[in-house]
Chains A and B, each alone.
Chain A
Amino acid sequence: MGSMIGASVTRKEDPSLLTGRGSYVDDISPPGTVHMAFVRSPLAHAGIGNIDTKAALERTGVLGVWTAADLAGLPNSRSVPGMERPCLATGKVRFVGEPVAVVVASDRYLAADAAGDVDVDYEPLPACSTTDAALAPGAAPILDGLPGNVAMEQALAADDAEAELSAAAHRLQLQLVNQRCAPVPIEPTACLADWTARGLTLYLTTQAPHHMRNEIATMFGLPQQQVRLVAPDVGGGFGAKASFYPEFLLVSELSRRLGRPVKYIETRSENMMSMVHGRAQAQDIDVGFDDEGHIAALRVRITQDCGAWPDTTGVGLPMLTSFMSGGCYKIPKISPSFRSVVTNTTPVGSYRGAGRPEAAFLIERVMDRVADELGIDPLDVRRRNYIQPGEMPYATQFEGIVYDEANYPALLDRLLEKIDYQALRAEADRRRTDPNAKLLGIGFSTFVEMGGFGPTPLFEQFGFIGGWESANVRLNTDGSAVVSVGTSPHGQGHETAFSQVVSDVLSIPFDKITVLHGDTETVQEGVGTMGSRAMPVGGPAVFKAAGKVRDRAMRIAAHLLEADPDDLELVDGRFQVRGSPDSGIDLTEVAVKSLKPHLLPPDSDLGLADTAHHEPTNLSYPSGAHCCVVEVDRDTGRVDVVRYVAVDDCGKVINPLMARGQIHGGVAQGIAQALLEEVTYDEDGQLTTASVADYLVPSALDLPSYETDHQETLTSFNPLGAKGLGESGATAAPQAVVNAVVDALSHLGVRNIDMPCSPQRVWRAMRDAGSARPSEVST
């Protein structure tokens, strides 16, 4: 049997999903299920006056209407102390879409009708839809007890690096915006609560079932064993389904009160205003460098928009950006600081990359600007600043941020083997003088990000019980295996990938392994899937649990064979004595005999099952080198990605097919951020991208083909050598695209274009810089 780790096997998950036999939350409807709908605020900031529920209550089929006053005593959601969010707006509303009241009816159409019947009086207050507005002197305070609207402020260096910046031969200031994006998993938030005398069962679209179970149990004062939390098939998450939402608490409470299962299915329009947004960061950057482009100092001042209610994860985003602001470069002095600002907008939380894409964008734009300033190639600037492979692991100036094994220069070399950079450059130059040709731009992104979240002291700061992950492996008597994992997938393919790991360790056929996840009743305490942690943290837990079972089976085999365990090897499902393969015993037979105490050494535990946890001693640091080639239409400003090449180092690749899928999907989201997506509010705080008709989620015609490759530099910090890769594409791509767009227009004097580089923005940049048609300049 060949190794399964590294094999492109197709997924175990697919047959049921492809035949319509998946089980998402809305597919589950216990008898008697009733439906919840929200009455949401149409205003961004307003006092709540009278709420008239009479018409709604009179409607046939309506079981009840509740406002905050009716739910007094329900706890707030956990957040920064003093900023905890109530499950319904209390006293005033703070963003468009904030729930004000909740209706339950016998079907979802009636619930929507009744929600429309509820009449709420609002007294409008001045709204702050931007951080500038929220920080302005005299701005209306949004949260009680927070007059300046600053939720958190922190400097991560002893000083502001002014001395080093002043001493540098060159100095450059940049203002960058990492615009607000919506995660838009195709399945919106859904929840179903069934509270019976035995306790509460809650089906959720979540990435962290045990975490949510613990939160809910604490909020209701229930023992944890009376709360069963199930994350069934989950239709994408991208970080946004790691957050706690008030509807989780509400469906539970209303199920308790009504004695019936209560379901809530968010509409897409609601999802656009209710599910956390991501990014929403502005950066003021000051960089000092010498004549050759060596960076001497970097100062970064971050303004993070955290929306109306600071999310536990959301407030920490700029800290992660700060830690990663130096990228894969050896910069002697980095001085980051940030402030997280409350605004009258949807709360901001984690979205694919969560704080690290913002850092990668920042430093990779800096590299291009420094190169431009000095008139040297952007790749030369990168090469001159790279941390070298011999310096790994590399301790950054930030305590606990230690980059693991990688080879940044080799990644770039490998990328350059795939593209003919000189030919592309020559073609770009040629097109500049050909008024009938589209402009060509070449952009690079050589990035490093964080994966493998924990360890525990770090992950505790985001509200989780730990930064470890858990796995249990148990063998049946026919030699098949059941694996329970604490991670909780929402498209990643854990059943397939973890089966590959177990197959290798225990020499069990891939098809005889089942992986369970996402149900707190059957799976031991776990943490969840976020921060590219499933393979670097969950994988080692699976690997260790399988290894413990293997060792136990080995001892039993040795006893039965009257051999020394050290002399045995496990080959093709059979323990055999090294050098004499005729003397051996099948793992299946060992599994049977492990349950016959009279055949075992005295005091043996029965059966072949064991649990393991893996607590990472360090984060992992996936890296890569990406190149994007764009064409820019001179007349319309439309940007087309004509080539996208990605070389990634996620350490050990477990399944190349699925690794490709992860990189593709991440790059797609990164390209979309660069060219299409932006959540916008008007100055009154009205969400102007409240549907997927207005918010541009890319279709197949908007995205290119991708060329991918891997350089496997194993990390020494976990036994699999895996670093994770779910967030790499989204971290790498935005700046590869924007660097390419700016490169295409650089001869016109364009030095920056904010994301998304929409046709209008690009066209304006060309117009403001002078005509893109050289022939027209002279006429």
Chain B
Amino acid sequence: MSRHHVRITVNGVAREDEVEARLLLVHYLREVRGLTGTHVGCDTSNCGACTVMLDGQTVKSCSVFAVAADGCEVLTVEGLAVDGQLSPVQQGFQECHGLQCGYCTPGMVISATGLLLENPDPGDTAIREGIEGNLCRCTGYEMIVDSVRWAAEHGGAGAVATGTRGR
């Protein structure tokens, strides 16, 4: 298996690594960079637990090779809070009980952040469409929708939108 040199910036920290061509970005993040907040929940790119932001766009990191992220900036759930202060989306999920087991949550929070970057004031249908690619088995989604709406009303995407994170 060929190995390749990559330089990937994750949550503002750039690093160079040698990786196998087939290494998925999600495994690069989890195992090479030690950022285990991004989860794996399926093998068909349906569940969205692995969602991260790549150069400002949400992607499913199980469907991106690490080599394809060479030269890119990645934002993971670990990069959302600034100086220990939860982002509005993270706060919204706590306020509105938008999580239970927490396993889908990092991907869900990143997708919601991506949605609010594109549409700072989404209605319920737009929120549901925005998180359609993220499966949650615990909440039945309504309280996630509430969480995203709370975030929209309390600072939206947060620091990501002002360019201090992830872009």
Contacts and interface: CB of A to CB of B under 8 A. Distances in A.
Q: Do A and B come from one complex?
A: yes
Interface of A: 10-11, 13-15, 17-24, 26-27, 29, 108-109, 184-188, 233-236, 238, 265, 267-269, 490-493, 657-658, 660-661, 664-669, 691-693, 697, 699-701, 703-706, 729
A657 B135 contact: no
B140 to A, nearest CB: 3
A18 B138 contact: no
A236 B137 contact: yes
Interface stretch (B53-61, B66-74, B88-96, B158-166): B88-96
5 contacts: A10-B97, A11-B94, A18-B109, A20-B76, A692-B135
Nearest to B46: A692
A235 B37 CA distance: 13
Contact of B129 (A13, A22, A664, A701): A701
Chain B interface, DSSP helix/strand/loop, else mixed: loop
A20 B38 contact: yes
Q: Which 3 A-B pairs have the closest CB atoms?
A: A20-B37, A235-B103, A491-B101
B101 A18 contact: no
A187 B103 contact: yes
B140 A20 contact: no
A13 to B, nearest CB: 7
Given A20-B106, A236-B103, A491-B102, A692 B42 contact: yes
Contact of A15 (B40, B94, B101, B103): B94
B41 interface: yes
Contacts of A15: 86, 94
A657 B37 contact: no
Nearest to B124: A705
Given A20-B78, A24-B39, A692-B46, A664 B142 contact: yes
B63 interface: no
B43 A27 contact: no
Interface residues of B, number: 58
Nearest to A708: B142
Most buried by A among B27, B40, B100: B100
B42 A22 contact: no
Contacts of B25: none
Contacts of A14: 93-94, 99, 102
Nearest to A185: B137
Contacts of B97: 10-11, 657-658, 660-661
Contact of A17 (B27, B99, B145): B99
B102 A692 contact: no
Interface in B118-144: 124, 127-129, 131-144
Contacts of A691: 42-44, 46
B22 interface: yes
Contacts of B128: 700-701
Contact of A18 (B36, B46, B49, B93): B93
Interface of B: 20, 22-23, 27, 30-31, 35-44, 46-47, 49, 76-78, 80-81, 86, 90, 93-95, 97, 99-106, 109, 124, 127-129, 131-145
Contact of A706 (B37, B109, B124, B140): B140
A231 to B, nearest CB: 12
A21 B44 contact: no
A24 B102 CA distance: 10
Contact of B137 (A18, A26, A697, A729): A697
Nearest to A699: B132
A706 B23 CA distance: 42
A268 B43 contact: yes
A186 B137 contact: yes
A187 B142 contact: no
A234 B103 CA distance: 8
A27 B29 CA distance: 12
A669 B80 CA distance: 31
Contacts of A17: 99, 102, 105
A691 to B, nearest CB: 5
A19 B138 contact: no
A235 B99 CA distance: 11
Contacts of B76: 20
B39 A187 contact: yes
A265 B27 CA distance: 13
A18 B140 contact: no
A236 B138 contact: yes
A10 B94 contact: yes
Nearest to B142: A705
A19 B78 contact: yes
B53 to A, nearest CB: 13
B30 to A, nearest CB: 8
A43 to B, nearest CB: 21
Given A11-B97, A19-B37, A661-B143, 19 more contacts: A10-B97, A18-B77, A18-B86, A18-B109, A22-B102, A22-B103, A186-B138, A235-B103, A236-B137, A265-B40, A267-B43, A491-B100, A657-B97, A666-B140, A692-B46, A697-B46, A699-B131, A699-B132, A705-B124
A196 B43 CA distance: 33
Nearest to B136: A186
A13 B136 CA distance: 17
A26 B34 CA distance: 12
A14 B36 CA distance: 16
Given A19-B37, A700-B128, A665 B100 contact: yes
Contacts of B141: 664, 668, 699-700, 703
Contacts of B46: 691-693, 697
Nearest to B92: A18
A664 B139 contact: yes
A29 B31 CA distance: 9
Contacts of A699: 131-135, 141
A20 B36 contact: yes
Residue of B35, B81, B95, B141 with most partner-chain A CB within 10 A? B141
Nearest to A270: B43
B90 A18 contact: yes
Given A18-B93, A18-B109, A187 B101 contact: yes
Contacts of A184: 137
B39 A235 contact: yes
Nearest to B101: A491
Given A14-B94, A20-B77, A693-B46, A661 B36 contact: no
A24 B39 CA distance: 9
Given A20-B106, A268-B41, A238 B137 contact: yes
B35 A667 contact: no
Contacts of A729: 140
Contact of B77 (A19, A26, A185, A703): A19
Given A14-B93, A20-B78, A664 B41 contact: no
A668 B139 contact: yes
A233 B100 contact: no
A34 B97 CA distance: 37
A19 B139 contact: no
Contacts of A701: 128-129, 132
A666 B127 CA distance: 22
Nearest to B107: A186
Contacts of B41: 186-188, 235, 268
A658 to B, nearest CB: 7
A660 B100 CA distance: 11
Nearest to B1: A109
A14 B46 CA distance: 24
A491 B81 CA distance: 22
B144 to A, nearest CB: 7
Contacts of A661: 97, 100, 138-139, 143
Contacts of B95: 10
Contacts of B133: 699
Contacts of B86: 15, 18-19
B88 to A, nearest CB: 12
Most buried by A among B42, B109, B128, B143: B42
A706 B78 CA distance: 32
